[in-house]
Amino acid sequence: MTSRLRLAIQKKGRLAEESFAALKNCGLRFSVRGDGLLARVNNMPIDLLLVRDDDIAGFVSEGVSDLGIVGENVLLEEQYVQGSKLDAQIDRRLGFSRCRLCLAAPENGNIQTLQDLNGTRIATSYPGVLGNFLTKNEIDAIPVTMKGAVELAPRIDIAASICDLVSSGATLEANGLKAFQTILESEAVLIKSDRPMGRDKQAVYDRLVRRLDAVIRSKDSKYVMLNAPRSKIDDITRLLPGSDAPTIIPLPGDDNLVAIQAVCTETVFWETLEALKDNGARSILVVPIEKMMS
């Protein structure tokens, strides 16, 4: 049995690009050729299995792949459909490929709220997730499973409403539909099974996830540098988003002024900069962080 760690990712699609980018940011070097199902990582003992996203959870469960990157929406659906047979769990959330699974109906039609769904059909590619949501909310409606073109269903009376993925809402709008309820907020997740993976693979896994965590953490992180009156250190520290102990450096030639430098792990908005300025900060610099490991 190979000691190379296998990671299944989507070959082509909305999840693929961001998965490739995350792995490249982790320093993995690989090239994807034509129709190949397997991409070898040159600088780490990892092989990428390039497949359809629907197959990823099953591959992990059956031991074909040690790990997988998949949308939480797809994983949950597989979990609902296969139940305890599926051995594929969320290892960590990856923070990209965010989208929402929503209920939507024709604008200005009969269906505006959850209660209006009673006794109607709902077209969806997610009968498991939807069925669970309906049961929990005591709604008596019938999911109709469609693998694609779900947004066309209301127009041809297949169903009165739909339950589908939404990111910008443009597809819904183009089909005269309007989302009225979110049933799941999804993002890409790293999945693995509960089986132990053996010492060699475990060591590769540990290295990979440490890098993944560093990439995820540094994504929104910025290094903030500014000068400020000594009397304002506390106020300014409180304003810096997601930073714990900033570095305070005295400025030669001016006892009242210090330089403050901090890693901010949350988004630094323009509003934050304006508030810093209102509190006496000057010469504010916000720079991106490429890598971060604690």
The site for Zn ion (CB under 5 A) is made up of 53-54
Choose among Zn ion, ligand ATP, none what residue 291 binds, the Cβ cut-off being 5 to 8 Å by kind: none
Among 68, 71, 143, 246, which residue interacts with ligand ATP (rule: CB under 6 A)?
Answer: 71
* 13 in contact with ligand ATP (CB under 6 A): yes
* 15 in contact with ligand ATP (CB under 6 A): yes
Residue 67: which of 207, 242, 197, 190 has the closest Cα?
190
**Rama region for 10: left / alpha / beta (φ>0; ψ in -120 to 50; rest):** beta
Distance of CA 152 to the CA centre of its chain: 27
* 124 in contact with ligand ATP (CB under 6 A): no
Cβ atoms of 211 and 52 within 8 Å: the answer is no
* Closer by beta carbon to ligand ATP, 70 or else 139: 70
* Closer by beta carbon to Zn ion, 125 or else 243: 125
Choose among Zn ion, ligand ATP, none what residue 175 binds, the Cβ cut-off being 5 to 8 Å by kind: none
Report DSSP state, residue 157.
T
- 3-class DSSP assignment, residue 89: strand
Percentages of the chain per state (helix, strand, coil), in multiples of 5? 35, 30, 35
* 52 in contact with ligand ATP (CB under 6 A): yes
* 74 in contact with ligand ATP (CB under 6 A): yes
Among 73, 79, 243, 265, which residue interacts with ligand ATP (rule: CB under 6 A)?
Answer: 73
* 184 in contact with ligand ATP (CB under 6 A): no
Among 5, 8, 9, 10, which residue interacts with ligand ATP (rule: CB under 6 A)?
Answer: 10
Cβ atoms of 293 and 210 within 8 Å: the answer is yes
* 185 in contact with ligand ATP (CB under 6 A): no
* 93 in contact with ligand ATP (CB under 6 A): no
Which span (6-14, 30-38, 129-137, 230-238) binds ligand ATP, by CB under 6 A? 6-14
- In what helix (H) or strand (E) does residue 288 lie, and over which residues does it extend? strand 282-288
* 291 in contact with ligand ATP (CB under 6 A): no
Spell out the residues 6+ positions from residue 256 whose beta carbon is closer than 8 angstroms to its own: 229, 230, 231
